[in-house]
């Protein structure tokens, strides 16, 4: 009956670390070869769309690997068996938040249902059908957690870490998160892994982080799959295993994790840990580029300009180069190669880039 609780924000101390390490990973050795002299003529341009790089936590002195995008994807919770509970969650799913609030309140009053308490906390925390009230939300989450609801535990842990509805209390947050993870909550396992990786709230323990990421990854959490893939790639907290890394990247890419799409595309392009399939790699790069991932846009530009792995397309390639450049992903080699364009093709590429950037 409860919604699949979102992460209110990955721990502030971890955000910058995840952002830096995700970009670092995507720029490692697994990348298409540098662009060569562009082919003589441009080909028809293709279409676009996009997304930002993953959000991330702060590193410590140890060589901590990249972890996944901080905001966990919100997926629908399992449909409950109790038809009355289903009415509450069904109202929530349809956006009938006031109805969900009234129905959940009745279940709390009549049955003391912890899942209904978590629902009330979610509605109060996110101003859904009622005025936003973090204090009241924390109270509902606390009652739900005391009643054994793993989603309530996780939500309260995130509030304690963020100082919402009360003072920051990292010790309580860690206990709540560990309890939620023990009850099988993949989001709790993933975020607890980030705390062990960060080494500030908890002592840094890369092996324990890897264990928790594996729990979350096995439960289908794409952010955990992507993070664990980086562990296997670098041999951090686990034995180095490129094939396992690529399998995890594939799983996360299939779940639309854009960072995993980029890394898996690079692995496919180079045939690293998986049979080479440049056509599939280019399709994935194009998908990630349309989600506004600057690294994907840069790699796609290189492939299209060089014509390696498929038909070259100078205009389309330079369009993506210019789009990536506006997002801070410059490329001196492509800057030099752009001089080979005719004035007409250069104008087309610039117009297409302006149109794409303006449409974001």
Query: pLDDT tens digit string along 173-231?
Result: 999 999 999 999 999 999 999 999 999 999 999 999 999 999 999 999 999 999 999 99
| Statement: residue 51 has pLDDT above 60 | no
Give me the domains of the chain, ranges plus CATH numbers: 12-359 (1.25.40.10)
Q: To the nearest whole percent, how much of the chain has pLDDT over 90?
A: 70
Tell me if 53 sits within 8 A of 97, measured CB to CB: no
Residue labelled with tokens 């993953």: 54
Per-residue pLDDT, 310: 74
Per-residue pLDDT, 269: 95
Per-residue pLDDT, 338: 82
Tell me how far apart the alpha carbons of residues 354 and 359 are, in angstroms, rounded to a whole number: 8
Q: Confidence band (pLDDT; 50, 70, 90) for 85?
A: low
Per-residue pLDDT, 49: 40
Burial grade of 78 (CB within 10 A; 0-12, 13-18, 19 or more): exposed
Q: Confidence band (pLDDT; 50, 70, 90) for 152?
A: very high
Tell me how far apart the alpha carbons of residues 237 and 231 are, in angstroms, rounded to a whole number: 7
| Statement: residue 106 has pLDDT above 60 | yes
Tell me if 360 sits within 8 A of 48, measured CB to CB: no
Q: To the nearest whole percent, how much of the chain has pLDDT over 70?
A: 76
Residue 188: half-sphere exposure toward Cβ, Cα within 13 Å: 24
Give 8-26 pLDDT, tens digit per residue.
333 333 333 343 333 333 3
> What pTM, to 2 d.p., does this model score?
0.74
pLDDT, the chain, mean? 81
Residue of higher predicted confidence among 72 and 301: 301
| Statement: residue 46 has pLDDT above 80 | no
Residue of higher predicted confidence among 341 and 255: 255
Q: What would the mean pLDDT of 277-305 be, rounded to a whole number?
A: 96
Tell me if 306 sits within 8 A of 300, measured CB to CB: no
Tell me how far apart the alpha carbons of residues 304 and 163 are, in angstroms, rounded to a whole number: 48
Per-residue pLDDT, 23: 36
Phi (first) and psi of residue 225, to 5 degrees:
-60, -45
Tell me how far apart the alpha carbons of residues 130 and 122 are, in angstroms, rounded to a whole number: 10
Tell me if 309 sits within 8 A of 41, measured CB to CB: no
Per-residue pLDDT, 237: 95
């Amino acid at each position: 009956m409860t919604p699949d609780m979102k992460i209110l924000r990955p721990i502030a101390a971890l955000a910058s670390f995840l952002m830096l390490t995700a970009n670092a990973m995507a720029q490692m050795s697994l990348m298409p070869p540098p662009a060569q002299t562009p082919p003589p003529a441009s080909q028809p341009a293709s279409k676009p769309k996009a997304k930002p790089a993953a959000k991330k936590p702060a590193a410590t002195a140890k060589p901590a690997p990249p972890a996944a995008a901080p905001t966990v994807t919100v997926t629908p919770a399992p449909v409950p068996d109790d038809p009355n509970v289903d009415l509450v969650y069904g109202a929530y799913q349809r956006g009938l938040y006031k109805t969900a609030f009234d129905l959940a309140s009745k279940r709390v009053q009549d049955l003391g249902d912890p899942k209904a308490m978590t629902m009330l906390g979610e509605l109060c925390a996110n101003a859904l059908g009622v005025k936003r009230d973090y204090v009241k939300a924390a109270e509902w989450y606390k009652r739900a957690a005391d009643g054994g609801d793993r989603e309530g535990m996780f939500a309260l842990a995130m509030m304690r870490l963020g100082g919402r509805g009360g003072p920051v209390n990292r010790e309580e947050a860690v206990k709540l998160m560990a309890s939620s993870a023990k009850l099988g909550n993949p989001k709790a396992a993933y975020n607890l892994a980030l705390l062990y990786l960060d080494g500030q709230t908890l002592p840094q323990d890369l092996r324990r982080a890897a264990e928790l990421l594996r729990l979350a990854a096995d439960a289908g959490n794409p952010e955990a799959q992507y993070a664990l893939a980086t562990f296997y790639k670098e041999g951090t907290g686990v034995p180095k295993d490129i094939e396992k890394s690529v399998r995890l990247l594939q799983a996360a890419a299939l779940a639309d994790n854009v960072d995993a799409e980029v890394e898996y595309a690079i692995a496919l392009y180079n045939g690293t840990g998986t049979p080479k399939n440049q056509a599939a790699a280019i399709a994935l790069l194009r998908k990630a580029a349309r989600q506004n991932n600057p690294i994907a846009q840069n790699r796609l530009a290189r492939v299209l300009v060089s014509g390696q792995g498929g038909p070259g397309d100078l205009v389309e390639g330079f369009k993506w180069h210019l789009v990536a450049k506006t997002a801070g992903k410059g490329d001196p080699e492509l800057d030099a190669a752009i001089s080979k364009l005719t004035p007409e093709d250069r104008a087309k590429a610039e117009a297409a880039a302006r149109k794409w950037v303006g449409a974001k």
